[in-house]
Structure 1
Amino acid sequence: MVSAAENRNYSEAQIEAEAERLLAKLMHVECEASRSWNIEECREIAPLTLEINDLKKEKGAVVLAHSYVEPEIVYGVADFAGDSYMLSLKAKQSGAKSIVFSGVVFMAETAKILSPESEVVVPDRASGCSLADSLTGEQLRELKKQYPDAAVVCYINSTAEVKAECDVCVTSSNVYKIVASLPQKQILFVPDKLMAENIRVEMKKLGIDKEIVSSDGTCIVHDDFDPTIIADARGKFPGLKVVSHPECTLNITEKSDYVGSTGGMMQYVKATEAPYFMMLTECGLVERIEVEAPEKRFISGCKLCPYMKMNSLQKIRDVLIAPREDQVIELEEDLRLKALHSIDRMFEIAEGAPHQPGKGC
């Protein structure tokens, strides 16, 4: 449990009102990975969420929360919640003096790439990513020597130094469109080898002749789902819809009813009539939908990301008060501009026009 805020005194009426606000959201969360929220637990965290929200106003800060972090962050203190790139665009649009990125480090780097004038901080510098951490800029430079004629495409789940070495960055929502449109036949796609496999299959379905080569990174959440759980669940729950992410293995995506980005998965579940859903992704996304569409019923299957769960209300409060040097994201300007170029190219190709600030993907 988090402790009450130490530096401010809130009245019982303020705490009760905040607890009721929190409960109105969190009472719908029923994922097996989360606690069972009640008014007593909400009263316990209420002083902390009150303090964080006050600190944001005082410091001109916004809190960005990825859908995979704990629901008390998403619904207690976040100004924006969603996937990593949408959050970075929202932060840029807000013009905030300070950005607290409650997610993982590569996401905060993306925010810094797009908002160089803002201070960008992370609640926990150890919140890495198995995909982003699987490939360095130096390793990519060596790979590029092996494939000199390839278009170099990086998934958004990569470090700033990897983005700086790429021709174009992609998200899970626009990757197929961008890869299909590139003039080069050979595509060096990094760092996710499983998404590369899904791209290869999709290009073949579309009748597009592409040679997809990749590095060997995987997401520790999405790379190890057992496909037998799909058949078992379909047998027990007629009408079940299975939803997965293109970071999953082919033996998962090929058995799914829908494969898409974090935002796409949310939209699909909300818009689709079905008695049950199984979401083969991080449990935080299931928790978000339970809050925003409490009528939906879910079958167990999601997994936790240990890096996302390093974020907490206490760490957010502490980084707002006095960020340590290691919590502040700094990028050399030359590196930032090279990384920004790959992101700008994404918009030029995906949208057919130069990137305009505030436009999402």
Structure 2
Amino acid sequence: MVSSADKRNYSEDQVEAEAERLLAKLMHVECEASRSWNLDACREIAPLTLEINELKKEKGAVLLAHSYVEPEIIYGVADYSGDSYMLSLKAKEAAAETIVFSGVVFMAETAKILSPQAQVVVPDRASGCSLADSLTGEQLRELKKLYPEAAVVCYINSTAEVKAECDVCVTSSNVYKIVASLPQKQVLFVPDRLMAENIRVEMKKMGIEKEIVSSDGTCIVHDNFDPETIAEARSKFPGLKVVSHPECTLNITERSDYVGSTGGMMQYVKATQAPYFMMLTECGLVERIEVEAPEKRFISGCKLCPYMKMNSLEKIRDVLLEPRPEQIIELDEELRLKALGSIDRMFEIAEGTAHAPGKGC
């Protein structure tokens, strides 16, 4: 297929101006997982970012990018970037004809649930998630039979069919507030076994009596950090602050100075004075903070999510040009409305507002 890059000609001045814009954003990215950003590297991608930004305007598209995708996407072409909760809110507010979700498929499904009037597309349909892929709607229906009195809570890292089977959806930024608010003593939490363990600990600290049962999914990034790495880093770098996600194992979260959502981790690092930080999460978040707070110093420890890294500028350009059928997110309307109920409940508890029926966003 001939790409529009072969059809659109940009002057040297346009490319140079775009390269300079990109470099101003990307020059501080030094994460070992990233490419080296200099003016030549920015000139190389400038025609693509120019083209994508033009295509977005032409097609009435908005581009949502998770913090874990590559920095050239976040700072070159994204309209909004952040964690799953922030992007869920942006999807809810969107009035765009097309939503391009640069992240993983369950996030694009959430955008479609909240914005049914929009065409929602993903750059790579293979960009799955070990958590979302660990549990089907049918498997959850069988689990619910074992715990008929339990409140059924799903982490947002789940498929639309799982969300449709749940009482309320949560994110890592609001999970403790929502679980604590539920009247039921027993909570069936899916699909993240490790987050369930962290919820048990947090409920005990809060003095709230809850029985948390869970399915057995884990995140392939956050399930693979070694506590010995923390001890070794603390011995070498006095004053080090260790930051982790509640998808991590207890032997990581209990040794961390801060545990929180992607957005929460960013805020903590930016607001905290420390000589060094170790981020036990996906490397994309480290790259974002390097750009937005270049004075911060990081000790190696992050890991890559292979699914998030399936996103690229070329794939975003191509899906804007002519999405293939498998790149378009389609949901049965009955299932969508059931899934919307669990997300509405999340917004109602976390934000004090519910999704307005009939507005389709």
Give the TM-score of the pair, scaled to structure 2: 0.96
> For the residues of structure 1 that align with 2:353 and 2:54, how far apart are their CA atoms?
40
Letter in 2 for 1:96: A
- What's 2:128 paired with? 128
Matches within 5 A, 1:187-198: 187-198=187-198
Give how far 1:7 is off.
2.1
Which segment drifts farther, 79-88 or 314-323?
79-88
Secondary structure of the equivalent of 2:62? strand
> For the residues of structure 1 that align with 2:58 and 2:4, how far apart are their CA atoms?
20
Task: After superposition, give the CA deviation of every residue in 1:201-256 in whole Å (9 maximum; x if it has no partner).
Answer: 11111111111000000000000100001010011100000000000000000000
- What's 1:252 paired with? 252
- What's 1:300 paired with? 300
Letter in 1 for 2:27: M
Matches within 5 A, 1:114-263: 114-263=114-263
Secondary structure of the equivalent of 1:189? strand
Matched, 1:265 2:261: no
**Percent identity of the aligned residues?**
87
Secondary structure of the equivalent of 1:234? helix
Give how far 1:301 is off.
0.2
Matches within 5 A, 1:275-290: 275-290=275-290
> For the residues of structure 1 that align with 2:209 and 2:88, how far apart are their CA atoms?
33
> For the residues of structure 2 that align with 1:350 and 1:137, how far apart are their CA atoms?
25
Task: After superposition, give the CA deviation of every residue in 1:118-152 in whole Å (9 maximum; x if it has no partner).
Answer: 00000000000000000000000000000001000
> For the residues of structure 2 that align with 1:202 and 1:60, how far apart are their CA atoms?
43
Task: After superposition, give the CA deviation of every residue in 1:23-56 in whole Å (9 maximum; x if it has no partner).
Answer: 0011100000001111001001000100000000
Matches within 5 A, 1:34-73: 34-73=34-73
Matches within 5 A, 1:7-46: 7-46=7-46
Contact 1:85 1:107 in 2 (8 A): no
Letter in 1 for 2:130: S
Hey, which bits of structure 1, 4+ residues long, moved more than 6 A? none
Contact 1:279 1:286 in 2 (8 A): yes
Give how far 1:83 is off.
1.1
Task: After superposition, give the CA deviation of every residue in 1:55-111 in whole Å (9 maximum; x if it has no partner).
Answer: 000000011110000000000100110012322322332301000000000000000
> For the residues of structure 2 that align with 1:185 and 1:154, how far apart are their CA atoms?
16
> For the residues of structure 2 that align with 1:208 and 1:160, how far apart are their CA atoms?
30
Contact 2:85 2:173 in 1 (8 A): no
Gaps of 5+ in 2: none
Give how far 1:181 is off.
1.1
Contact 1:4 1:48 in 2 (8 A): no
> For the residues of structure 2 that align with 1:19 and 1:183, how far apart are their CA atoms?
55
Matches within 5 A, 1:319-330: 319-330=319-330
Letter in 1 for 2:52: I
Contact 1:103 1:127 in 2 (8 A): yes
Give how far 1:355 is off.
4.2
> For the residues of structure 1 that align with 2:91 and 2:115, how far apart are their CA atoms?
8
Letter in 2 for 1:6: D
Contact 1:178 1:349 in 2 (8 A): yes
Give how far 1:352 is off.
4.1
- What's 1:76 paired with? 76
Which segment drifts farther, 343-352 or 211-220?
343-352
How many matched pairs? 355
Secondary structure of the equivalent of 1:5? helix
CA RMSD in angstroms, aligned pairs only: 1.3
Letter in 2 for 1:66: H
Specify whether residues 146 and 73 from structure 1 end up closer, same or farther in structure 2 by C-alpha distance, changes over 3 A only.
same
Gaps of 5+ in 1: none
